[in-house]
């Protein structure tokens, strides 16, 4: 029988295993012989769980939660590498939110050089406001003037525009300190965000990792690190149904490691999922078309019954008019025709909206207040 964690009491802080290998930190609200009511730290949600699903927090978590002053002193002593290892421990425990916190803290502990000529950077190029993931390019600072820096791009395949240099606002620059450590932390962030169920963040973090590997000085280590980053990027693109992006990352990865079969497997999986999406779209369009036909038939029968209740009389108007006995309203067959056209136009718009929504990759944006969105300023070391 598993021993209870030391904090197994009301008000004690524990880690609770929830589902599918996911765990989270929580506080015990009530306790019985067989189960406990816990409140999750993340959102305060209440869960009733068996005692066997409760575990003790890691020692470094206990130190950082018992005393605020001690936590602040400990935080200053913990290096970026230690933060990364702590994140790896929490990742293996399935607490992806806590792991991401440690990885972000690791990035903040990195000490890159000041923003000055010769500083290695990655440049934010994407626009997440339109539902796309952030994109980056590696570069080197040439000059700095106020809040603008001239950057020389280091990549061979620009993401935005065929330019080799540009003047970039400082707010869009992310300084690179230790490129090996920084790229590995970005990769771990991408994996943790994917495990958490995010859609855009894994792509953005993986793309940061790819760009950061451009600054690794050792020629032997750079291709290996970049291939790892491209593999994570390809899978992240595939998870959000960006099949072209996944295939492009796989093509780049194959150039670095031609004998690796996983690139061909990724392209095959992208092709298979694209075909499944196409077939699903055709089925959806057929179902909606049948539904529209049924609605239009029913509407036509209603209009026919409506017209049969009118008596058509000849008057001085250019066209016959229909007058219901005892009713004041006067309608023309031309008006009835326009009603039917309006119905058809509305239903056609519904079909188009449904098909487009089904075809376009679903990329819900997480609210920035939840702390999951990739914030360039959060990692800007200027």
What is the DSSP code (8-state) at residue 382? -
pLDDT computed for residue 133 by the predictor? 65
pLDDT computed for residue 309 by the predictor? 62
Nearest-angstrom CA–CA distance, 326 and 109: 85
Count CA within 13 A, CB hemisphere, residue 141: 25
- What stretches in the chain show pLDDT beneath 50? 1-3, 65-74, 158-160, 315, 323-332, 334-336, 358-372, 377-382
Q: Quick check: helix, strand or coil at residue 364?
A: coil
Q: Quick check: helix, strand or coil at residue 381?
A: coil
Phi, psi of 323 (to 5 degrees): -125, 125
pLDDT computed for residue 1 by the predictor? 42
pLDDT in tens, 32-42: 888 899 999 98
Nearest-angstrom CA–CA distance, 146 and 185: 30
Q: Is residue 57 within 8 Å of residue 7, measured between CB atoms?
A: yes
Angle 145-146-149 (CA atoms, 0-180°, nearest 5)? Answer: 50
pLDDT computed for residue 160 by the predictor? 47
Beta-sheet pairing, 330-331 with 165-169? unpaired
Nearest-angstrom CA–CA distance, 221 and 218: 5
What is the DSSP code (8-state) at residue 263? H
Angle 21-41-91 (CA atoms, 0-180°, nearest 5)? Answer: 35
Q: Quick check: helix, strand or coil at residue 109?
A: helix
Q: Quick check: helix, strand or coil at residue 230?
A: helix
pLDDT in tens, 176-210: 989 999 999 999 999 999 999 998 999 999 999 99
- Residue 226: Cβ-neighbour burial (10 angstroms; 0-12, 13-18, 19+): buried
Q: Is residue 55 within 8 Å of residue 15, measured between CB atoms?
A: yes
Q: Which residues contact 58 (CB under 8 A, 6 or more apart)?
A: 86, 89, 90, 93
pLDDT computed for residue 301 by the predictor? 75
Q: Is residue 251 within 8 Å of residue 210, measured between CB atoms?
A: no
Nearest-angstrom CA–CA distance, 280 and 288: 12
CA-based torsion, 81, 84, 90, 91: positive or negative: negative
């Amino acid at each position: 029988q598993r021993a209870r964690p030391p904090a197994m009491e009301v008000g004690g802080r524990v880690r609770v295993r929830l589902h599918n290998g996911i765990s989270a930190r929580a506080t015990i609200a009530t306790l019985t012989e067989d189960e406990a009511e816990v409140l999750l730290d993340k959102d305060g949600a209440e869960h009733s769980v068996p005692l066997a699903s409760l575990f003790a927090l890691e020692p470094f978590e206990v130190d950082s939660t018992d005393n605020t002053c001690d936590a602040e002193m400990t935080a200053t002593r913990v290096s970026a590498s230690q933060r990364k290892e702590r994140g790896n421990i929490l990742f293996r425990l399935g607490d992806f939110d806590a792991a991401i916190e440690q990885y972000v803290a690791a990035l903040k502990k990195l000490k890159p050089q000041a923003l000055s000529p010769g500083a290695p950077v990655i440049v934010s190029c994407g626009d997440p406001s339109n539902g796309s993931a952030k994109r980056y390019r590696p570069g080197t600072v040439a000059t700095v003037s106020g809040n603008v820096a001239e950057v020389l791009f280091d990549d061979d395949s620009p993401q935005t525009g065929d330019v080799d240099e540009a003047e970039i606002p400082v707010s869009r620059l992310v300084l690179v300190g230790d490129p090996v450590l920084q790229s590995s932390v970005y990769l771990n962030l991408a994996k943790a965000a994917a495990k958490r169920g995010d859609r855009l963040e894994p792509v953005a973090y993986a793309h940061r990792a790819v760009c950061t590997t451009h600054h690794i000085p050792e020629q032997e280590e750079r291709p290996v690190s970049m291939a790892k980053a491209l593999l994570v990027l390809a899978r992240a693109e595939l998870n959000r149904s960006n099949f072209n992006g996944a295939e492009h990352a796989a093509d780049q990865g194959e150039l670095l490691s031609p004998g690796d079969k996983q690139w061909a497997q990724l392209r095959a999986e992208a092709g298979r999922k694209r075909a499944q999406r196409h077939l699903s779209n055709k089925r959806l369009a057929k179902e909606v078309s049948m539904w529209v036909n049924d609605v239009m038939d029913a509407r036509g029968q209603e209009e026919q019954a409506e017209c049969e209740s009118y008596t058509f009389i000849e008057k001085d108007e250019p066209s016959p008019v229909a007058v219901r006995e005892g009713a004041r309203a006067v309608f023309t067959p031309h008006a009835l025709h326009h009603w039917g056209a309006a119905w058809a136009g509305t239903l056609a718009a519904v079909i188009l909206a449904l098909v487009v929504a089904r075809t376009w990759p679903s990329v819900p944006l997480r609210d920035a207040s939840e702390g999951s969105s990739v914030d360039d300023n959060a990692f800007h070391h200027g």
